Amino acid sequence: MAFVMLASLSIPAFAEEAQPSATRGQVVSAILAAAQAYHPDIHKEDIIKGYEDGKLKEDQAVQMVEALVMVSRAFPELPTPVGNDLRMGSFPEGFTDTPAWAKADIDKLTAAGVLVGNSDGTLGGSEPITLDELHTIIARIWALKGTNLKDDFFEVINKEWLNTSTIPDGDMMGGVFSDLSRENDDKLKSILQGLVGKTFKEGTKEQKLADYYTAALDSKSRNQAGSKPIANYLAEINKATSLQELIQADNDLEKATSLSTLFNFMISADAKDSSTNVLYYTGMNLGLDKNSYVTNDENAKQLYIAFMTKLLVLSGEKEQFAKEQASKIYEMEKSLAAVSLDPQEQGDVTKYYNPYTIQQFAALYPNVDIKNSLKEANLPQVDKVIVIDEKQAKKYAEYLKGDQLELLKSYSKVWLLQHTAFKLTDDFRKAVKDFTAGLYGITGERTDEDSAIDSTKAYLNDYMGQMYAERYFSKEAKQDVEHMVKQFIAIYKERIKAIDWMSEVTKQKAIKKLETMQVKIGYPDQWKDQLSKVSIKTYDQGGSLFTNAIAIQKAKADAMKAQLGKPVDKSEWEMNVYEVNAYYNPLNNEIVFPAGILQAPFYDIHAKKEANLRAIGMVIAHEISHAFDNNGSAYDENGNANNWWTDEDQQKFMEKCQAVIDFYNDIEIVPGATNSGLLTLSENVADLGGMAASLQVVSGMAQPDYKVYFESYANVWKSTMTREIAAYLSANDVHSANKIRVNRTVVNFPEFYTTYGIHSGDGMYVAPEQRVSIW
């Protein structure tokens, strides 16, 4: 839920020792304990039958197929997977190595979606099984049954919703956040449709919104234009006979459109001096995530090559040449991905903060006139460039030696096409949709109207946000939430003062950070207009979706470039007002809650104060916690990357972070994908801190209702998605999977155990000495 832009402490990954194979006796004991709540009358002899000689041989190592048959006997009736279980389950067609005596039981478990085989179609049933592997299968059954919250709290609380859940056409997921986002889209749609057809003064936000949306809906005119909007840029790339000419073509493209296909920069606050804007080199475009490249995901590779091939063919290339070039681009991007930062490293200030003088940066690419390119991009006074991904930047230099011209030309064309596809014909759009659908398991398509709204949101986001706030979020609500945030900051001060592992010196600096924390609620205090001089026109007026989008894009880029070397405007927002989200920005030491999330079930101005504190309270406390997670903790009260910890306190903090890594690591999300405790550390720290602080508020109420608190928390995180998206997020998202955010967080608090009577032997039970906490 939180957005943390930059980060700090580097926590080492932990190594897990291999588990020994389980014995028959260990397996039957584990299964009996796991099945007791579902079949109270079950006995040992119901599960383990023994060999022909009648001996049980409980000390003997057990084969996987034997253990699975015992599991099947312990759970004789399994529900037919529907909804989320059907979406998330594993359903191989059948295993080629299943012995006849086990076939009925294995078939039953297979139909329930709880078995995963090998790529060659075998189960591997003759192999040994560990207790961890056994518990993973049992956990899948607990989730499928969803009847005992002591074993799987998330599933039981949300089971009815999960069983009936659907994913809207063209979307990747469904759930509270997704539903609220769609509701907000409906509100934005209502605003736009209320503007279309009316006459507004030229240059007003109403006129620009109405005409942009009208142009975005005009697929007939867009299709008639074909690829003409980018024809000149493609021609310039094609004409290049040297690297220098290709760089100049890219310079001309950037000058006209603010798009660059060969070098990517951004202007943002200097992490070591957050009051000043500096230039960052952000690296190269990659069409897939790093994990897909380095794991040699064949499905992703073929989909991506086919996608690039289609784009090149649509732009006029011959299919055979297009396919050959697409394959070469894939290999180039793969080589760049191999050395690039891992997702969890992208926020580590020791990794991404690599300042170069302009002379040093230019020396990275001796065959490119970097200074001239920056000058032509209207950035003539650059004296420092912060290289975010240094290894990738150096690897890219190998392709800029002058002997890879055709490859770079094709790469440049592909990324021009990717950047502009949705502003061109339906054929280009279909290529993008087919690629993403195949990659992420998406079915159906969003409507043209949905696409028009998405485009209007993307390009006229400030105007949309202003009108959304005016209609759907009041000044009174803004003040009310601001007051609640102050309450939670005060609670956090109390909690920090009471910490037993931190010295007074470090505590005072943490408290200072809280006292200077900036709070932004609902919408900006002042609306700024970067687009005042931008003219937006419909096709009938001589405009187009492409020209409108490019004019907006260029105006925003020019405004950003003008900030280079200037003081940072810390009043600016990094998230749209209508977003269902919130974030902490360490460079500003600020927490931000857009109006989009400040609605039921999170907040309602008409609800009782206690209800709002309980609901939005977790979100508020979560964001405050980000100031003290492994990322935010490296920045001081002024937003500068500056170590304010004593060495001893920092060591203790890192040890606690390691415990959190271990606690959330290697938990199955879907068969074949597990949670990474390292990748998700910052969000897990914030979830733990958020729950600790919000529970303190609930405990202080006249009649604390912990049941409502915990079940509301589980309800908020109910979600469903495709297996492909779940697997993708497991390797790329800094948030734990929603179910893990619930089940693995609540078990660290004694109130959860007393509320539901959780005891040793229950699936949700964690021994007190194994529970984790930081704040």
- Percent of the chain scored above 90 by pLDDT? 91
Across 232-240, average pLDDT = 97
**What pLDDT is attached to residue 54?**
67
Q: What is the mean pLDDT of residues 67-81?
A: 96
| Domains of the chain and CATH, by start | 24-145 (no CATH), 229-405 (1.10.1380.10), 473-530+571-770 (3.40.390.10)
How are beta strands 384-387 and 273-281 bridged, if at all?
parallel
Question: Is the pTM for the entire model greater than 0.75?
Answer: yes
CA 554 to chain CA centroid, Å, is 28
CA distance 84 to 87: 5
Comparing 103 with 52, the larger pLDDT belongs to: 103
Provide the 8-state DSSP code for 750.
H
HEC string of 116-146?
A: CCCCCCCCCCCCECEHHHHHHHHHHHHHHHC
Measured from the Cβ of residue 636, the count of other Cβ atoms closer than 10 Å reads 18
Who has greater pLDDT, 338 or 3? 338
Per the rule left: phi > 0, alpha: psi between -120 and 50, beta: everything else, 157 is alpha
Mean pLDDT of 616-626: 95
Active site residues: 623, 687
Residue bearing tokens 């020994």: 20
Q: Give 277's strand partners.
A: 269
pLDDT, one tens digit per residue, over 637-663 is: 999 999 999 999 999 999 999 999 999
Distance CA 199, CA 178 (A): 34
Beta strands at 384-387 and 355-357: parallel, antiparallel or unpaired = antiparallel
Average model confidence (pLDDT) across the chain? 94
Burial of 694 (C-beta count, 10 Å sphere; 0-12/13-18/19+)? buried
What angle, rounded to 10 degrees, do the helices at 228-239 and 405-420 form?
Answer: 170
Residue 4 confidence (pLDDT) above 80: no
Helices (H), 52-121: 64-74, 83-88, 103-111
The token duo for 41 is 């009358």
CA–CA gap between residue 28 and residue 67 (Å, rounded): 8
- Calculate the alpha carbon distances from 544 to 197, 215, 217, 311, 459 in Å: 17, 6, 10, 21, 14
- Residue 53's pLDDT is 65
Token duo for residue 589: 């030491």
What are 177-229's pLDDT values in tens digits?
Answer: 999 999 999 999 999 999 999 999 999 999 999 999 999 999 999 999 999 99
d(CA 712, CA 769): 27
* Other Cβ atoms closer than 10 A to 391: 16
Q: What is the pLDDT of residue 55?
A: 72
Phi, psi of 99 (to 5 degrees): -70, 150
CA 703 from chain center: how many Å?
Answer: 37
Q: How confident is the model at residue 51 (pLDDT cuts 50, 70, 90)?
A: low
Q: What pLDDT does 615 receive?
A: 83
Q: What is the predicted pLDDT for the residue at 12? A: 36
Helix (H), strand (E) at residue 744: helix 738-746
- Per residue in 365-391, pLDDT tens? 999 999 999 999 999 889 999 999 999
The answer to whether the beta carbons of residues 420 and 222 sit under 8 Å apart is no
pLDDT of residue 435: 97
Q: How many CB atoms lie within 10 A of CB 541?
A: 12
Each residue of 403-442: pLDDT tens digit?
999 999 999 999 999 999 999 999 999 999 999 999 999 9
| Residue of 2 and 629 predicted with greater confidence | 629
pLDDT in tens, 469-481: 999 999 999 999 9
If one counts every other C-beta atom within 10 angstroms of the C-beta of residue 444, the result is: 11
pLDDT of residue 13: 38
| Contact between 502 and 649 (Cβ < 8 Å) | yes
Local confidence band at 56 (pLDDT 50, 70, 90 cut-offs): confident
| Per-residue model confidence as pLDDT tens digits over 482-505 | 999 999 999 999 999 999 999 999
d(CA 182, CA 179): 5
Cα distance from N-terminal residue to C-terminal residue, the chain = 18
With b meaning 16 or more CB within 10 Å and e meaning fewer, what string describes 28-59? bbbbbebbebbeeebeeebbbeeeeeeeeebe
Query: Once rounded to an integer, what is the mean pLDDT over residues 34-46?
Result: 92
pLDDT greater than 50 at residue 2: no
CA 556 to centroid of chain Cα atoms: 25
- Please check the confidence at residue 17 and state whether its pLDDT lies above 60: no
Query: What pLDDT is recorded for position 293?
Result: 97
For residue 168, what is the DSSP state?
-
- Computed from CA positions of residues 597, 600, 604, 607, in that sequence, does the dihedral angle turn out positive or negative? negative
Interatomic CA distance for residues 347 and 353, integer angstroms: 10
For position 570, what pLDDT does the model report? 94
In this predicted structure, the answer to whether residue 529 has a pLDDT above a threshold of 90 is yes
337-342 LR contacts (CB < 8 Å, sep 24+): 337/286, 337/288, 337/290, 337/293, 337/294, 338/293, 338/294, 339/391, 339/392, 339/394, 339/395, 340/283, 340/286, 340/290, 340/389, 340/391, 340/392, 341/388, 341/389, 341/391, 341/392, 342/290, 342/679
Give Cα separations from 647 to 508, 513, 775 (angstroms): 15, 19, 18
Q: What is the pLDDT of residues 296-334, one digit of tens each?
A: 999 999 999 999 999 999 999 999 999 999 999 999 999
Output the DSSP codes for 310-374.
HHHHHTT--HHHHHHHHHHHHHHHHHHHHHSPPGGGTT-HHHH--EEEHHHHHHH-TTS-HHHHH
Q: 641: which DSSP letter?
A: B
**3-class secondary structure per residue, 559-579:** HHHCCCCCECCCCCCCCCCCC
pLDDT at 23 over 60: yes
CB of 358 within 8 A of CB of 242?
no
Q: Amino acid letter at 707?
A: K
User: Tell me, what DSSP letter sits at residue 441?
Assistant: T
Query: Helix/strand/coil (H, E, C) string of 531-568?
Result: CCCCCCCCCCCCCCHHHHHHHHHHHHHHHHHCCCCCEC
pLDDT at 11 over 80: no
Q: How far apart are CA 564 and CA 558, in angstroms?
A: 10
Helices (H), 100-242: 103-111, 131-145, 153-164, 176-195, 205-217, 219-225, 228-239
What pLDDT is recorded for position 63? Answer: 92
Q: What is the mean pLDDT of residues 34-62?
A: 84
**Per-residue pLDDT tens over the stretch 594-610:** 999 999 999 999 988 88
CA distance 36 to 30: 10
Do the strands 265-270 and 273-281 form a parallel or antiparallel pair, or are they unpaired? antiparallel
CB 510 within 8 A of CB 494: no
Residue 16 has pLDDT above 50, yes or no: no
Tally Cβ neighbours within 10 Å of residue 243.
Answer: 21
